[in-house]
Amino acid sequence: MKPKVSVIIPAYNHERFIGAAIESVLRQSHDNLELIIIDDGSTDNTAAVIKAVDDPRLTYLYQENQDAYNTINRGLSLAGGEYVAILNSDDVYTTDRLEKLLAAREETGAHCLITDVIPIDDDGQVFTDPDFGWNIWHHKNRGFYFSCGDLYTAFLKGNFMVTTSNFFLTREAVARVGAFCSLRYLHDYDYIFRVMLAFPEQVVYLHDQRLLYYRIHSGNTLSEAAVIGREQDKEVIRKYMLARVPEELKGVVAAGSERLVELEQELHQVRAALHPQPQPGIRQQARGLCRALFTRLFR
């Protein structure tokens, strides 16, 4: 028999996109699956869209809002398949994603597989412009991976997995790694490091296969989330950089890396004092805001 795959969709206020996400799962070329959708307290018509789908493989549950990581963890506790995948309610699988991941798992024996992604807008149009901000960011991260050749090192440089939707895990991996942590914006980034530590050499990046449509919303604006996300980013990188350092050198590396961060902050303050910049006008602020619309590094 074909192995069973459990797909978990944590849904929140995505009435416009959840239908496409559900359809992309139920129309997979690999059809032995269960779809567990947990509605994390949506206040729009997300529930109505889900309930309109008639498929015995779909299980729908509602809960009061608990944030994405708790919602995913509840889904993990309910999953009964030999493999577990996650799909955010605004992203979309290619129709052959699960089939190809299962084939790669059979070939490599990996306990976690991720692929490249295809960035799309609200209307499902692909961002093809190489000068688009997100494409530049993603190309840089992938380029570093190709140059260094080490998955763990490359992830310290940047999260080219991009999204929780990219996870495809064995049941054993889920059991050993455990629950997603309580980082609101970077629970996926933290989790991939824990998987790599639990299963050295058994995490595979299918860099030449784009099997996931990742939605970048035009309505996103620069906000306090960008600050919180980057603060969490620093903590995750520091934690997992030190995790690979021999115990006797952890103090040296920690002290040196913290001082480098302090120096960067001091340099910024000194330069600002020596060469004060005029406050940007309304037009410049508007341009900065427009640039921010084209990036979604943190959900």
Residue 290: pLDDT over 70? no
pTM of the model as a whole: 0.88
Residue 293: pLDDT over 90? no
User: Residue 297: its pLDDT value, please?
Assistant: 44
Contact 164, 187 (CB under 8 A): yes
Split at pLDDT 50, 70, 90, the class of 103 is very high
Q: How far apart are CA 152 and CA 90, in angstroms?
A: 28
**Residue 116: partners with Cβ closer than 8 Å, 6 or more residues away:** 142, 206, 207, 208, 209, 210, 211, 212
Summary mean pLDDT of the chain: 91
User: Residue 229: its pLDDT value, please?
Assistant: 86
User: Residue 225: its pLDDT value, please?
Assistant: 78
Tokens of 226: 């960008």
Sheet harboring 92-93: ordered strands across? 58-63, 33-40, 5-11, 83-86, 168-170, 112-120, 203-215, 92-93
Residue 296: pLDDT over 70? no
Q: How far apart are CA 20 and CA 16, in angstroms?
A: 8
Q: How far apart are CA 178 and CA 173, in angstroms?
A: 8
User: Residue 222: its pLDDT value, please?
Assistant: 56
Q: What is the pLDDT of residues 138-193, one digit of tens each?
A: 999 999 999 999 999 999 999 999 999 999 999 999 999 999 999 988 999 999 99
Residue 209: pLDDT over 50? yes
- What domains can you pick out in the chain, each with its CATH number? 5-215 (3.90.550.10), 224-293 (no CATH)
Residue 298: pLDDT over 50? no
Q: What does the pLDDT average to over 235-256?
A: 92
